[in-house]
């Protein structure tokens, strides 16, 4: 199943679009041409060509074998709505372009001011339950840039789904057992713990732990050391009480403290976290109960022979009797559905796991029909450094905490260039600006595309960047604060005679598109659509700001422009919120 297929509710969220479709359908019926027809009704790329354009005449022309211009003119003559439509134009090769009355858009601005943070959000009578699994860092290793992309992407999806009225459960599945944790445990035993290690800063402590993992990975080629590490791994699975297993638990505690701090910095609060160790026993049971059916024995291990289904072959239980990550993913799926009775699960991981999840999902759907079309995987591309991918086992991966600290440092420098705030203000503003830059960078890319990490570019107050959007919001809020206006709704009567210039109308019309963009980004699982919308909105607001004085205008224009400025600030804030970006009042 395609993810879009899950969203069965009507995706037409704009009153004008819904009304225009009805008018066109009624006109076609009057002409006796057709009853039901699927056609496109879109915003023209050139706004001078109208607010909406319908291709219905071209669709009918293929069926009726007639000139589309002739059909378009016939339909246009039958369409009338004095309260909504200003004029209708027919353009070659057969588009019907609708120009809406300004009153419609001014009414929408009033809705923005009335609904505030609820503008652009939706409610469902019976919200379906969607689980979004994202982040998925392992303990015993540092949180790296791939986890960062997963975490920020998953957070945005959760916010988009919730905004559309769905019941969302945010989950993290972390690896706290397996060879990678055993390697780190061995490496830590070799390095020995400093006496005050438990009191170290969480992130400094994690750097030391990650170095132990790199050391063990380098030494693993030595057969003697490999045997030692494998014994630690068996003891952990068998829950033996040894010095190594006790050390393993200590490292897990330190790792989780590190991860909790990172997630808090990113604004992520999970509803549920699943440790890999908690599904191990269930994983073994699932595999053993399906030997001879889905699974088969091979050289002491138990495998899924994916070739018969046109997929890759995967090991589900090792020759040592331990469940693999694959087996535990099966158990995790069953646990999730037992806990929440889900309508849909979405798991985000790197594109490297695409073939793996094809096999996992195929097996799940074979094991139990309840998973059919309800367990989906979204792969995302790599985050590259200087155009190259790095490997954590070689110590070359970009650490998530390093990225955050680097971004904070650059943001502080750039904030100081704008204005020298006091220490507390500078710290808070810099953190939010840095996160805005990082989140916007990651979310502005389609999931399948790679991202080149360059903090000097994404922490920028000009161009296509998070800080530029934030700066536009701050500018709007500054105008409102200087006006000392408390009751903006009282300014709405001025809209009837105000907001007539080119840049006022361009901004006004773009604000009205926000609910459609928010819904479309949800249905298409595409946060980048919100980023594109925000950038265009910011540009339009800044054009308005540069050409239409607010505070020094006549009383009528001032009041109308204050209402428009307030609407722009509200929509900027709402849309940024969908990306998990917090606003600031100063910059």
Determine the pLDDT at residue 1: 60
Determine the pLDDT at residue 297: 96
CATH topology for the 401-578 domain? Isoleucyl-tRNA Synthetase; Domain 1 (1.10.730)
pLDDT grade, residue 395 (50/70/90)?
very low
- Taking the C-alpha atoms of residue 525 and residue 517, their distance in angstroms, rounded to an integer, is 11
147-152 average pLDDT score: 95
Contact yes or no for 533/516 (Cβ under 8 A) = no
Find the distance separating the first CA and the last CA of the chain, reported in whole Å. 45
Q: Which residues contact 324 (CB under 8 A, 6 or more apart)?
A: 314, 315, 316, 317, 318
Determine the pLDDT at residue 140: 96
pLDDT above 60 for 394: no
Q: What is the mean pLDDT of the chain?
A: 92
Determine the pLDDT at residue 587: 85
Q: Which residues contact 240 (CB under 8 A, 6 or more apart)?
A: none
Pick the CATH number of 134-291+327-394 from 3.50.50.60, 3.40.50.620, 3.20.190.10, 3.30.565.10: 3.40.50.620
Lowest mean pLDDT among 113-117, 383-387, 475-479: 383-387
Contact yes or no for 169/131 (Cβ under 8 A) = yes
Distance of CA 408 to the CA centre of its chain: 22
397 vs 176: which has the higher pLDDT = 176
176-200 average pLDDT score: 94
pLDDT grade, residue 484 (50/70/90)?
confident
Contact yes or no for 435/148 (Cβ under 8 A) = no
Determine the pLDDT at residue 182: 97
Determine the pLDDT at residue 444: 97
110 vs 486: which has the higher pLDDT = 110
Enumerate the domain spans of the chain.
15-100, 134-291+327-394, 401-578
Which of 473, 579, 457 shows the shortest CA–CA distance to 526?
A: 579
CA distances from 69 to 87, 388, 446 (A): 17, 53, 37
108-128 average pLDDT score: 94
Contact yes or no for 476/565 (Cβ under 8 A) = yes
CATH topology for the 15-100 domain? Gyrase A; domain 2 (3.30.1360)
Per CATH, 15-100 and 401-578 having the same topology is answered: no
Determine the pLDDT at residue 438: 96
Lowest mean pLDDT among 80-89, 189-198, 256-265, 481-490: 481-490
Determine the pLDDT at residue 455: 81
Helices and strands (H, E) in the chain, number of each type? 20, 14
Determine the pLDDT at residue 433: 96
pLDDT grade, residue 496 (50/70/90)?
confident
Contact yes or no for 416/450 (Cβ under 8 A) = no
pLDDT grade, residue 38 (50/70/90)?
confident
pLDDT grade, residue 393 (50/70/90)?
very low
Per residue in 297-316, pLDDT (tens digit) is 999 999 999 999 999 999 99
Please tell me the pTM assigned to this model: 0.93
Percent of the chain scored above 90 by pLDDT? 80
pLDDT above 60 for 391: no
Helix/strand/coil for 321: coil
């Amino acid at each position: 199943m395609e993810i879009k297929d899950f969203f069965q509710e009507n995706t037409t969220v704009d009153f004008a679009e819904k009304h225009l479709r009805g008018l066109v359908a009624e006109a076609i019926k009057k002409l006796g041409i057709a009853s039901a027809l699927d056609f496109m009704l879109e915003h023209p790329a050139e706004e001078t060509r109208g607010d909406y354009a319908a291709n219905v005449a071209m669709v009918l022309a293929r069926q009726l074998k007639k000139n589309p211009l002739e059909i378009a003119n016939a339909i246009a003559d039958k369409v009338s709505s004095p309260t909504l439509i200003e004029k209708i134009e027919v353009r070659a090769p057969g588009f019907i372009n609708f120009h809406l009355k300004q009153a419609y858009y001014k009414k929408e601005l009033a809705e923005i001011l009335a609904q505030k943070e609820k503008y652009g959000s939706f409610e469902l009578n019976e919200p379906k339950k969607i689980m979004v699994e994202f982040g998925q860092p392992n303990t015993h290793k540092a949180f790296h840039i791939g986890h960062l992309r997963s975490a920020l992407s998953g957070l945005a999806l959760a916010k988009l789904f919730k905004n559309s009225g769905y019941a969302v459960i945010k989950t993290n599945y972390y690896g706290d057992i397996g060879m990678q944790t055993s390697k780190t445990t061995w490496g830590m035993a070799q390095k020995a713990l400093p006496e005050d290690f438990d009191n170290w800063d969480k992130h400094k402590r994690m750097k030391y732990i990650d170095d132990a993992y790199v050391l063990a990975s380098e030494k693993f080629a030595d057969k003697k050391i490999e045997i030692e590490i494998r014994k630690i791994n068996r003891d952990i699975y068998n829950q033996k009480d040894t010095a190594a297993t006790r050390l393993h638990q200590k490292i897990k505690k330190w790792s989780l403290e590190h991860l909790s701090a990172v997630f808090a910095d990113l604004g992520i609060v999970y509803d549920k976290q699943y440790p890999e160790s908690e599904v191990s026993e269930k994983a073994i049971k699932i595999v053993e109960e399906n030997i001879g059916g889905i699974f088969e024995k091979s050289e002491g291990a138990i495998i899924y022979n994916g070739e018969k289904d046109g997929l890759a072959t995967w090991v589900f239980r090792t020759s040592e009797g331990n469940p693999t990550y694959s087996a535990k993913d099966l158990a995790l799926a069953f646990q999730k559905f037992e806990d929440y009775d889900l309508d849909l699960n979405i798991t985000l991981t790197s594109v490297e796991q695409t073939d793996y999840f094809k096999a996992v999902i195929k097996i799940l759907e074979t094991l139990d029909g309840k998973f059919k079309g309800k367990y989906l995987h979204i792969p995302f591309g790599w985050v590259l450094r200087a155009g190259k991918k790095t490997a954590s086992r070689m110590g070359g991966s970009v650490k998530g905490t390093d990225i955050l600290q680097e971004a904070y440092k650059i943001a502080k420098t750039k904030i100081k260039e704008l204005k020298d705030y006091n220490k507390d203000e500078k710290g808070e503003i810099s953190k939010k600006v840095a996160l805005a830059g990082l989140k916007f960078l990651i979310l502005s890319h389609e999931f399948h595309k790679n991202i080149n990490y360059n903090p000097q570019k994404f922490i920028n107050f000009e161009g296509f960047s998070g800080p530029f959007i934030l700066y536009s919001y701050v500018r709007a809020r500054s105008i409102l604060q200087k006006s000392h206006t408390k009751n903006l709704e009282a300014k709405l009567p001025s809209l009837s005679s105000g907001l007539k210039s080119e840049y006022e109308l361009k901004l006004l019309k773009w604000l009205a598109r926000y609910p459609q963009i928010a819904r479309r980004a949800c249905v298409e699982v595409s946060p980048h659509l919100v980023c594109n919308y925000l950038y265009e909105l910011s540009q339009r607001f800044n054009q308005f700001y540069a050409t239409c004085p607010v505070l020094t205008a006549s009383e009528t224009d001032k009041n109308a422009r204050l209402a428009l400025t307030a609407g722009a600030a509200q929509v900027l804030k709402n849309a940024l919120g969908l990306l998990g970006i917090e606003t600031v009042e100063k910059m």
